[in-house]
Amino acid sequence: MELLEESVVPEHARPVKQDAREFAAEHIEPNAEECFREGEYPWEILEAARDADLIAQDIPEEYGGRGLSLTEVLAIAEEFFRADAGIALTLQLASFGAELVTEYGSEAQKEEYLRPVAEGEQLTGLAVSEPETGSDLAGMTTRADLEEGTGPDGEDEYVLNGEKYWIGNGVEADWLTVYARTDDDEANQYGNHSCFIVPTDADGYHAEHIPEKMGMRASKQAHVVFDDCRIPAENVVGTEGAGFWMLAEFFNHGRIVVAGHGLGLAAAAFEEAWSFTHDREEFDRTISDFQAVQHGLADMRMDFESARALTWRAAKKVEAGEEPGFWAAMAKTVSTEAAVDCAEQGMQFHGGRSILTDRRIARVYRDVRIPVIYEGANEIQRNLVYRQSGD
């Protein structure tokens, strides 16, 4: 049985998908349980992924990457997340936020900040969510105020104050793309925020790891505090006031990749459930002989296949710029919720063994709760789908 077969994957994305599968089998799967148990950042696996050219490679070739397409990144995501979600998230967060610099940054910014990430010398991250604000992009309160002529050489500076929460690589990264408020125009709520490149060694930048998480424990998120954190005005990405719209476009691509997270997790749940029910006996029969179990497995397979078909169709739509927000929202919602449903059913089939922490199904069950929230909670995605359905 091969759930993540390549017939729905465009031909150009199949080689990197195979590379990702081989890497996952060699480096991710054998270390999944230990990384989950220890909850430590998997530096050695990250270095191996860099050597294999499987992370940060959507950065264009002229800045040291491979210029991988959205569909190629999706192909990697479903393979990595099938092997282990925590390690996979670490690998995919290694260049998180760099896409905004790729799309909107100046040539000087691209050369200075993208190349080291693509070449494996630096890590980055994206700082959007705040302790009191998650999905409300227009409501973020971290501020960036312009001060003229206050820099060491008389240059203009932005001074950042506020907090960010759930920031991947907030401690480990060399720089973050930070979303901050630069205006308070009530008549233009979508024009009040901007994006900035913020080196993590800047004065006034403070970060600490968020304590124990129940899932994706090999991935590290941070609580970041900006206390009069000064950066050069030239670190604005794109133009001031365009941050909301830049992120909206960025999330269209990101949500397709998160749909791949859901597909990988759903595949893992189904594989575990299938194997367990066909190996275990009850009442002198294999569990899979019971019709109720067969129906449950059938539902899992249908959920998975429906989500995968939608995701790959949506990926092509987003790449082509055809209603990208609509298709990305649907794919993210359907795939991540398919993962939740498959994990729930897989746990039920495992019975008492499902709660043993060394079981793959138990790790999957914990992990699936997270993708339904990040990149915009699924309730927000439903709002987007509804609003754009009549267009």
Q: Where are the domains of the chain?
A: 11-104, 124-241, 245-389
pLDDT at 150: 80
pLDDT at 103: 95
What is the separation of C-alpha 309 from the centre of its chain, rounded to a whole number of angstroms? 20
pLDDT at 179: 97
d(CA 247, CA 356): 40
The CATH code belonging to domain 124-241 is 2.40.110.10
pLDDT at 68: 96
The CATH code belonging to domain 11-104 is 1.10.540.10
Structure tokens of 269?
Answer: 């749940």
**Spans in the chain with pLDDT lower than 70:** 281-284, 354, 391
**11-104 and 124-241 in the same fold:** no
d(CA 184, CA 95): 31
Task: Burial-class residue 203 by CB neighbours within 10 Å (0-12, 13-18, 19+).
Answer: exposed
Which among 147, 148, 375, 379 is annotated as catalytic? 375
Return the bridge partners of 180, or none: 194
DSSP, collapsed to helix, strand or coil, labels residue 256 as helix
Maximum distance among all alpha carbons in the chain? 82
Closest CA to 57 of 13, 87, 25: 13
d(CA 144, CA 241): 11
pLDDT at 352: 72
Q: Tell me if the domain spanning 245-389 has CATH number 1.20.140.10.
A: yes
Per-residue DSSP letter, 19: H
Q: Phi first, then psi: give them for residue 143, nearest 5 degrees.
A: -110, 150
Q: Is 375 a catalytic residue?
A: yes
